[in-house]
Structure 1
Amino acid sequence: MKFNLVYPLLIIIASSSYGILSTIVKVAMNRGYTSAEATASQYAIGFLLALILFIITQRKLPKLNRTGLLFIVLAGVCTGTTGIVYNQSLNYLPASLAVVLLFQFTWIGMFIDCFLRKRLPSRSETISLIFLFIGTILAAGIIDVDLSTIAWQGWAFGLASALSFAIFIQFNSRPVEGVTTISRTLIMSFVALVIISLFSSPEIIWNGQLFGTELLFFGLTLGVFGIILPIVLFSIAAPKVGGGLTSILSAMELPVAIIASVLVLRETLTILQIIGIVLVIVGMVLPTVLAQKKTSV
């Protein structure tokens, strides 16, 4: 039986879409908007887009059992909390270090998956995590950063964002019978919007700023690449791939984030960062390649 590469590819595309978000937010901030306003616009427009897709394709919510609804709601909660705590970490950390802490979701997600499935990491998964860990540090360019002056809140929020995203992957990798991808996206985006509205800038939704300014463009872009595309693709592929491999494949977000910042924001790219990106990509594709070879024998 051949290993199906379609689902890992969908995970890579979903995580890549997350990778361009930080660059879009920075562009919005350069235009005079705050990160909280950009984040609120992302989740508000993302929910509206999910609602439009739902009305066009279905118009009727599925009947969910309690467990299925719980998985979807908790995935939505984690989607919102990841954005909140990551933005908070940026108040205490250099952006490069915040990214490194967020990307600890790779091994956190792997260990959560191993715990839930009562298994040990495979040899390929262990080697992959080593590549990802070293590659992330090099790619983020924190070798020369002084860590002694960083407040403990920064470490706490940074690791909390990694834990939140790892849990999101686990909940989203659980198949839920009787629910379509669009319905799942609608519920998750609504829950995430509620969570974000408690901590960000919900007033932009009703004071006219969201729909009457350039913020609408940023909201549409962030909503498509930060809500619709990744949630839809994760909902399709994560249950097929599993939480452990999904965590590893999601590491594609880091190289994309760095490349986007270089192309759009004209940030510099060092040799060490290039080596780090290569190591991340090697660590990301290793389990998939080995699985394909194993199933083709």
Structure 2
Amino acid sequence: MKTWHYALIVFLGGCCYGVLSTFVKLAYSAGFTVKEVTGSQYLLGTLLIWMVALFSKKKKLTLPNIGKLLLSGIPVGLTGVFYYQSLQTLDASLAIIFLFQFVWIGTFIEWMVYKKIPSTGKMVSIGILIIGSILAAGIITDGGVKLTWQGTVWGLLSALTYTALIFLSSSVGKDIPPVQKSALLSTGGLITVLLIFQPTSLLHLPVIMGVAPYGLFLGLLGVALPPLLFTIGMKHVGPGLGTILTASELPIAVILSSLVLAESVSLSQWFGVILILGGIVFANVKKPITKMKSASLESKSVY
């Protein structure tokens, strides 16, 4: 596969997360609690990925390797817990802005941990993404925002754990088949959610049957697919570019809120969506152009 194929895979992983807020709001409006929604999502999502793992390529793992992958799945669960908690006290448009901070946090961590100084192109791309995110969230046009300290803390924590998920997807268990690795990461996320929320109401048949359609959909797009897609693509594109690619979640969230929830989206918000997509494209086309230029210079020096 070519590099842009892996970039597209990571981009789609971000899109999956962008779908979640719309369908979480639908589940809340149907009368289900955050514990029921999150618990069913991680339970059914983990079952889905294990069903696929049973019929896919597997590698024999040692107990330390299994334990490392389960621990690496903690951010998978915590991201859902923190983000859904922030949605309890913040508007969806504001909560996703806090989650969106993973874009610059990821680049900063890559700089500190891997000593990779961000290029001018990457910094420009991040600047475009941040401006686009502010416009897409409607913060300016809506005339002020309603902040709560609880929602702010939960939102920023979700950004940190989402960044951790991106980095761990690219660094832990590189030689393990993607489906098997994703299944173990999802299991770690499920254990985390069950320990925090203890959704005992899911033991009642009417509750689990009612929330199951939401949990199945959210589990597929929020638990099963993202770790799998990140596992396949992140090790090839790297966490720095990966954080930019996963910025696709915010445009998807805005588009679905308009189409599914019938929320009004202003012209400036649509412009923000276009800016975000433009920033992602800019980050991906600049690199190949630079490589082509360097290759051209090398060929000239030979002659």
> What is the TM-score of this pair, normalised by structure 2?
0.90
Instruction: Give the whole-Å Cα distance in 1 for the aligned partners of 2:276 and 2:107.
Output: 16
For the residue of structure 1 that corresponds to 2:263, the secondary structure is coil
- 1:15 corresponds to which residue? 14
Instruction: Give the whole-Å Cα distance in 2 for the aligned partners of 1:82 and 1:109.
Output: 15
Instruction: Give the whole-Å Cα distance in 2 for the aligned partners of 1:284 and 1:65.
Output: 39
Of residues 68-77 and 251-260 in structure 1, the stretch that sits farther from structure 2 once superposed is 68-77
Contact 1:109–1:247 under 8 Å retained in 2: yes
The residue type equivalent to 1:256 in the other structure is I
Contact 1:23–1:261 under 8 Å retained in 2: yes
For the residue of structure 2 that corresponds to 1:97, the secondary structure is helix
1:244 corresponds to 2:240: yes
Instruction: Give the whole-Å Cα distance in 2 for the aligned partners of 1:49 and 1:64.
Output: 24
- 2:186 corresponds to which residue? 189
**RMSD between aligned alpha carbons?**
2.0
Shift of 1:25: 1.2
- 1:75-111 superposed Cα distances (whole Å, 9 cap, x missing partner): 3100111111112222332221111111000000111
Q: Flag the 1:255–1:177 CA change in 2: closer, same or farther, 3 A.
A: closer
1:38 corresponds to 2:34: no
Instruction: Give the whole-Å Cα distance in 2 for the aligned partners of 1:111 and 1:74.
Output: 23
Instruction: Give the whole-Å Cα distance in 1 for the aligned partners of 2:174 and 2:261.
Output: 43
Task: Report percent identity of matched pairs.
Answer: 36
The residue type equivalent to 1:133 in the other structure is I
Count of residue pairs brought into register by the alignment: 292
Instruction: Give the whole-Å Cα distance in 2 for the aligned partners of 1:124 and 1:210.
Output: 50
- 1:84 corresponds to which residue? 81
For the residue of structure 1 that corresponds to 2:3, the secondary structure is coil
The residue type equivalent to 2:278 in the other structure is V
Instruction: Give the whole-Å Cα distance in 1 for the aligned partners of 2:24 and 2:78.
Output: 17
1:272 corresponds to 2:271: no
- 2:4 corresponds to which residue? 5
Instruction: Give the whole-Å Cα distance in 2 for the aligned partners of 1:109 and 1:201.
Output: 31
Name structure 2 gaps, 5 residues minimum: 294-303
- 2:112 corresponds to which residue? 115
Matching of residues 59-138 of structure 1 within 5 Å: 62-64=60-62, 66=64, 69=66, 72-138=69-135
Instruction: Give the whole-Å Cα distance in 2 for the aligned partners of 1:252 and 1:177.
Output: 24
Shift of 1:191: 0.9
- 1:240-278 superposed Cα distances (whole Å, 9 cap, x missing partner): 110000000000000001101111110111011011111
Contact 1:3–1:296 under 8 Å retained in 2: no
Shift of 1:204: 4.0
Q: Flag the 1:64–1:242 CA change in 2: closer, same or farther, 3 A.
A: farther
Shift of 1:71: 5.3
Contact 1:19–1:256 under 8 Å retained in 2: yes
- 1:261 corresponds to which residue? 257
Instruction: Give the whole-Å Cα distance in 1 for the aligned partners of 2:255 and 2:81.
Output: 24
Instruction: Give the whole-Å Cα distance in 1 for the aligned partners of 2:34 and 2:260.
Output: 18
The residue type equivalent to 1:244 in the other structure is G
Matching of residues 148-297 of structure 1 within 5 Å: 150-174=147-171, 176-200=173-197, 202-209=199-206, 211=208, 213-297=209-293
- 1:198-230 superposed Cα distances (whole Å, 9 cap, x missing partner): 23352244322455x232111111111111111
Instruction: Give the whole-Å Cα distance in 1 for the aligned partners of 2:147 and 2:59.
Output: 47
Instruction: Give the whole-Å Cα distance in 2 for the aligned partners of 1:71 and 1:240.
Output: 21
Instruction: Give the whole-Å Cα distance in 2 for the aligned partners of 1:161 and 1:78.
Output: 9
Name structure 1 gaps, 5 residues minimum: none
Bigger Rg, structure 1 or 2: 2
> What is the TM-score of this pair, normalised by structure 1?
0.91
The residue type equivalent to 2:220 in the other structure is V
Q: Flag the 1:209–1:241 CA change in 2: closer, same or farther, 3 A.
A: farther
Instruction: Give the whole-Å Cα distance in 2 for the aligned partners of 1:210 and 1:194.
Output: 20
Contact 1:3–1:295 under 8 Å retained in 2: no
The residue type equivalent to 2:161 in the other structure is S
The residue type equivalent to 1:141 in the other structure is G
Contact 1:24–1:218 under 8 Å retained in 2: yes
Shift of 1:70: 6.1
Instruction: Give the whole-Å Cα distance in 2 for the aligned partners of 1:77 and 1:295.
Output: 37
Instruction: Give the whole-Å Cα distance in 1 for the aligned partners of 2:63 and 2:107.
Output: 27
Shift of 1:15: 0.7
Shift of 1:157: 1.5
Instruction: Give the whole-Å Cα distance in 1 for the aligned partners of 2:200 and 2:143.
Output: 37
